[in-house]
Amino acid sequence: MTNGFINLNKPFDWTSHDCVARVRKLLRLKRVGHAGTLDPAATGVLPIALGKATRLLQYLPGDKAYQATIRLGVRTTTDDLQGEIITSQPITGLSLADVETALTKFIGKIEQIPPIYSAIQVAGQRLYDLARKGETIDVPSRIVEIFKIEILDWREGDFPELDVAIACGSGTYIRAIARDLGAVFNTGGTLAALTRTHSSGFDLTNALTLTDLETQLQANTFQLVSPDAPLQHLPAVTLPTISAQKWCQGQRISLTPEMTSKVRVYTDETRFLGIGEFAEGVLIPQMVFEPVS
């Protein structure tokens, strides 16, 4: 009951930490964590790990997907509508074709400067803490990967808005895409709305709201997502019982053929044991989730 995941649909104006605290209270469980922080103004998929599943967070896939609304003609301190407006200027003559052409520059591996109001640490301090103190910050750029940007809607006007679906790798800031798209046209751009539709192996289509969770708990119908469900991107290895016992005790197991990268490890009764890694023909324990007695 207490070792697995919740696919949570984070509400607007809640921090990711707020959601963890609420789940901790509802389940009366201390060991709760989350994958992939969402800004308070964003909604959507926030994977929540319970109990021993918190140790699996580091192995979840990094790919994410979002639906975003970008407003052009406006720049803010936070690169979204939650910040103070820096500049605001009506736009004329900008067409959807112009935007479509500009968006091609954001596909693939690109260099991105994260927003100054972000949780990234510089010299041991969060950027948003430094920004709130009014300190001048030299934010280091990073390489991120954007797999796809699809235009969903375009609304003309003094401050045109663009709805897009974005598939990207971990570490990508959608607020930065909004800001940088505005910079292409020298008009300014900011993020007006954001919903994460996919994250770390979880999808919005079957996510629970906090209200759903509370209702299911009261009705005794709540079921955790199994700990290995979001780990399907990793190959699976099945061990005989004796080898499984040795592996759970920290021993290395010789196996052929050797696989690459990390793997999910199971007993021959299909019981999930944890995460292993191959090196020179042996399977090394990385994280033992459920030892074999």
Provide the residue type at 110 as one letter: I
User: CA dihedral defined by 197, 198, 199, 201, rounded to 10 degrees?
Assistant: 150
| DSSP sequence for the chain | --SEEEEEEEPTT--HHHHHHHHHHHHT-S-EEESS---TT-EEEEEEEEGGGGGGGGGS---EEEEEEEEESEEESSSBTTS-EEEE----S--HHHHHHHHGGGSEEEEEPPPSSSS-EETTEEHHHHHHTT----PPPEEEEEEEEEEEEEE-SSS-EEEEEEEE-TT--HHHHHHHHHHHTTS-EEEEEEEEEEETTEEGGGPBPHHHHHHHHHHT---PBPTTGGGTTS-EEEE-HHHHHHHHTT--EE-SSPPPSEEEEEETT--EEEEEEEETTEEEEEEESS---
Residue of 107, 82, 84 lying closest to 164 (CA atoms): 107
List residues bridging with 142 in a β-sheet.
112
The residues annotated as belonging to the active site are: 39
As to burial, measured by CB atoms within 10 angstroms (0-12 exposed, 13-18 middle, 19+ buried), residue 268 is: exposed
